Amino acid sequence: METIHKDERARAQASAQLASIEELVKCLHHAEECSNAACGADSPHEVDEAREAIMEDPLSVDVRTDWHGVGAVEACKPTHYKILLCWGGPAVQIVGTLDDYNQPDSATLQYQDWFTEWMDYPLTDEEEQAVITYAQQFYFEG
C-alpha cells in the first residue's frame, strides 16, 4: 500500500492553482503582444478581457496593515496583500508585500488542508514572476 503524505491533497490543489495562474498570465501576455485576432490562439486578444479573466478568478482580495477588506480603512496604507484562490480543505492563497505604489513586489503561493498550518509551495523564479504578474492585475489602494 502506498503511503500518502499528509499534505499531498492540498499540495496538489496548489499545483492546479499555479497551472491556472500561469495560463491566465500567458493569455494576458498574448493579448498584450498580439494584435492579430486570426492568429489561431484560443486566448483573448483584448487586454481588458484577459485582465478581467484574472480579476474574476479569486474568491477574495485583501490588504493589511491589519487584515481588512480592500478600501475598508481609508487612513491605513496597506503593506501586504492576500489573494484567496480557494478555501476549505484544501485552501490556496497568494500572499506578498506591496511597494510604495501599492503594487505587489513579492508573491508566495501557500496551501493548507483542514487543521494544518499554511505551507509555502516552492516556486521557480519563472513561476514566481507569473504569480506576481497575476497579483499585479488587482487594485490594492487602502
Pick from 23-27, 38-42, 103-107, 138-142: least confident: 38-42
Is 76's pLDDT higher than 50? yes
Distance CA 104, CA 100 (A): 10
Take residue 24 and report the three cell numbers written for it.
Answer: 491566465
Is 77's pLDDT higher than 90? no
pTM over 0.85: no
Is 98's pLDDT higher than 70? yes
| Nearest partner of 141 among 84, 70, 82, 80, judged by Cα | 70
Number of Cβ within 10 Å of residue 90's Cβ equals: 21
